[in-house]
Structure 1
Amino acid sequence: MFFLETERLKLIPLTHDLLQLCNQNRPEMEARLGLTTNVMKISQEYVTEIQYAMAHFWLPQTAAHPDNYFWYTNWEIVLTSCNMAIGGIGFAGAPDDKGFAEIGFMLDEHFHGQGYAAEALRAMINWAFGHEAVRHVVARTYEDNAPCRRLLLGAGFMPVAADGRLLTYRKCRPVM
């Protein structure tokens, strides 16, 4: 099974079959991965976004792109010290023809403020920039989400647009 590893984390991209199992019975999916079960504390807003992504993006897109599913799925953020999923991260599809890939992430509230989201974000950006087609990584957050805005700025993203309450940030591939 393919995964990314950092100092404290393992990032596991869920296959279509694992997403289906997660949608039906998350604890069973965690067991299949050999993980300790975690009932994550996340806001209702994120619960709704995850349910929507599962039904309207992850499941249909991983079925449509089985050989390239990494760009269309949730990657479980696993804290290796306790072998437990503490969040999710992933892209909103393969890079477009201009080299843009959009990323999103969510972390269990019990694990906020410990640098895990930044660590996962760095790993995913490095993975994305390892693909020649990726020139820019984009992330969006709400203007009232100051911790996320600080995290994006700390990871080298720059604000590039605002649409109502939604702010867009971009990080460009480093020039070699």
Structure 2
Amino acid sequence: MGKLETERLLLLEYNLDWIKATIAGVDELERVSGYSVSPEWPGIDFFFYLPYVLENVKKEPEMTKWTHLIVLKEENKIIGEIGGQGKPDETGEIELGYSIVPSYQNQGYVTEALCELLIWLKKQPEIKRIFARSFENNPHSIQVLRKSGFVYQEDQDKMESRGTILLWEYPMEDGVQ
């Protein structure tokens, strides 16, 4: 797949070399990728998830097509990530997650990236279900999901120590977006 492009963003496949470079440090990712990296990226949750991602990608290199770095074209800078968890090739389901560094939030970048990714995902024959989760106390994430066409699944709330998690489903019918 390689990259997706919107008016303001590039969504670049997060390949094995870039994953290794991120773990080694932001300077190494800048050297390997050719992009500058926001000093706020990666966020702590994503950073701690990277060793798990690395091990999975070593076993199944094709998994990189589901996760992308978000590059702000105007600044040639990595400002976030977006992608899917799990093994959509096997299950037909993909759970999406995303993050933009704080200094670039509330400018529509996640919605722009998510809408572009959804267009691409709907063209992938193995994808039968697209869903996402958000914390009840995260109005920005909820707004992104609603703007992108996700529908809240009322009876699917899940309580966790950090709060209530809401389930959102993306309608897969043609013409819906």
- Whether TM-score is above 0.5 comes out as yes
Identity over the aligned pairs, expressed in percent?
A: 27
Counterpart of 2:2 in structure 1 is 2
Question: Quick check: 1:152–1:169 contact (8 Å CA) kept in 2?
Answer: yes
The aligned residue for residue 171 of structure 2 is: 172
Q: Which among 46, 56, 59 is matched to residue 54 of structure 2?
A: 59
What is the root-mean-square deviation of aligned Cα atoms in Å?
1.9
Matched, 1:79 2:75: no
The answer for unaligned runs of 5 or more in structure 1 is none
CA contact (8 A) 1:135 1:172 kept: no
Looking at structure 2, the residues matched to 70 and 94 of structure 1 have their Cα atoms a distance apart, in angstroms, of 11
CA-CA distance at 1:77 after TM superposition: 0.3
Residue number in structure 1 paired with 2:35: 35
Structure 1 pair 15/98, CA: closer, same or farther in 2 (3 Å)?
closer
Which residues of structure 2 form unaligned runs of 5+? none
Distance, in Å, in 2 between the alignment partners of 1:64 and 1:157 is 32
- The range that moved more, 149-158 or 62-71, is 62-71
1:99 to partner: Cα distance: 2.8
Asked if 1:50 is matched to 2:46, the reply is yes
Q: Which amino acid aligns with 1:134?
A: I
Rounded Cα–Cα distance in structure 2 between residues aligned with 1:99 and 1:62: 18
- SS of 1:67's partner is helix
Q: Using the alignment, how far apart are the partners of 1:93 and 1:70 within structure 2?
A: 12
Q: 1:96 to 1:37 in 2, by over 3 A?
A: closer
